[in-house]
Amino acid sequence: MKKEVLLDLYYQMVLIRRVEERGAELYQQGRIGGFMHLYIGQEAVSTGLIAAREPRDRVITAYRDHGVATNCGISAKEVMAELLGKVTGTSKGKGGSMHMADTSKNMWGGHAIVGGHLPIASGFALGDQYAGNDNVTLCMFGDGATNIGYFHEALNLAKTWNLRVLWICENNQYGMGTAVERASAVTEIRQKAEGYGMKNGQVDGMDVMKVYSAAREAIDFVRKTSQPYLLEADTYRFRGHSMGDPERYRKAEEVKQWQENDPIGIFNKYLLDKKATTRKGLDEIEARVEIEVNQAVEFAEASPEPALEELFKDIYAE
């Protein structure tokens, strides 16, 4: 990977983190409503994965979607504006934190019904198959989504109909507050693909370079063979499930242990070890992020609320 590309990935990861840290502050001030789920700790998964796609490949994810939106090229301004419910947001303020999309960038949304977007992902791939192209649909979801029927119907259909879907399970060890082993018959989620005769793999989701390589390989496989693939990324969210999480289900030491494996820290070290940049170079990136985040907040705050007429728009196309 070229140096500029590596540094851009670092920029994206820091940007996701800082946008969310600012978002959390605004949430606590009551400026952001509804549910908000932070991606902090999991940035390497989406960043490595989406770096490996081609622009024509579609991305769809669950409600922990701010990072995915950023990786797909949605600006921090639009993300922040959506969080504040402004008309300049990704979804004109009608979607909120859990529903960010920009189909022009092939980001088909955050989806908030657990597992609900998986059959839709099969449908994207079905649409592409019907159109005769070899686009790949990248469908991201958490470990919790693999216990619900949608997951199984979607995987079965994808395998039976040879649909080009890369299923990416972000195993962050908990479905809300319930540990994987308390909710899933198998703790290695990738095993569930075996039942469908589906190729699968596992990757360290805290290391962006490892995610990138695994995703490249998996996307190539899906595109060339017209077969789905399930990739499990082991990861961890450093913050609560959502902003209102008392975190009674895990110990502070466990969180601390994972935080020592901070994906940004790991990549920071990698870049310095590989001499892709210097400490000063990384500081400059972080300073650029600060400017972008500040501008995003200013933009979002200055943006207008949706007009009341928007209430009745976009329900139907005709």
Contacts of 92 (CB under 8 A, 6+ apart): 306, 310, 314
Which of 2, 4, 103, 252 binds another protein (CB under 8 A)? It is 103
Judged by phi (left if over 0) then psi (alpha if -120 to 50, else beta), residue 34 lies in left
d(CA 104, CA 116): 22
User: In terms of CB distance, is 31 or 92 closer to another protein?
Assistant: 92
Contacts of 182 (CB under 8 A, 6+ apart): none
Does 113 bind another protein (CB under 8 A)? Our answer is yes
178-179 and 174-175 beta bridge pairing: antiparallel
d(CA 58, CA 199): 20
Does 102 bind another protein (CB under 8 A)? Our answer is yes
The 150-189 contact track toward another protein, x by CB under 8 A, reads x--xx-xx--xx----------------------------
Among 39-47, 108-116, 179-187, 281-289, which window interacts with another protein (CB under 8 A)? 108-116
How many residues contact another protein, by CB under 8 A? Answer: 43
Give the pair of three-digit tokens for residue 153: 């119907």
SS3 157: helix
User: In terms of CB distance, is 141 or 174 closer to another protein?
Assistant: 141
User: Would you say how long the chain is, in residues?
Assistant: 318
The 212-251 contact track toward another protein, x by CB under 8 A, reads ----------------------------------------
Residue 193: enclosing H or E segment and its boundaries? helix 191-194
Nearest to 161 by CA among 119, 203, 194, 214: 119
229-234 and 199-204 beta bridge pairing: parallel
d(CA 6, CA 44): 12
User: In terms of CB distance, is 90 or 235 closer to another protein?
Assistant: 90
Task: Yes or no: say if 142 and 115 are a contact pair by the CB < 8 Å rule.
Answer: no
Least spacing, CB of residue 81 vs another protein, in Å? 11
Which of 121, 198, 211, 285 binds another protein (CB under 8 A)? It is 121
For CA atoms 235, 118, 188, 244, the dihedral sign is: positive
Least spacing, CB of residue 110 vs another protein, in Å? 9
Does 123 bind another protein (CB under 8 A)? Our answer is yes
Least spacing, CB of residue 306 vs another protein, in Å? 9
Q: What is the residue type of 109?
A: G
Give the pair of three-digit tokens for residue 175: 């479905």
Least spacing, CB of residue 301 vs another protein, in Å? 20
Q: What is the residue type of 174?
A: Y
Does 122 bind another protein (CB under 8 A)? Our answer is yes
SS3 208: helix
Which of 149, 195, 265, 304 binds another protein (CB under 8 A)? It is 149
The 40-59 contact track toward another protein, x by CB under 8 A, reads ------------------x-
Span 128-147, contacts to another protein by CB under 8 A: 128, 130-131
Does 72 bind another protein (CB under 8 A)? Our answer is no
Least spacing, CB of residue 219 vs another protein, in Å? 18
Which of 91, 146, 147, 172 binds another protein (CB under 8 A)? It is 91
Positions in the binding site for another protein (CB under 8 A) = 58, 89-95, 99, 101-103, 108-109, 113, 116, 118-128, 130-131, 149-150, 153-154, 156-157, 160-161, 313-318
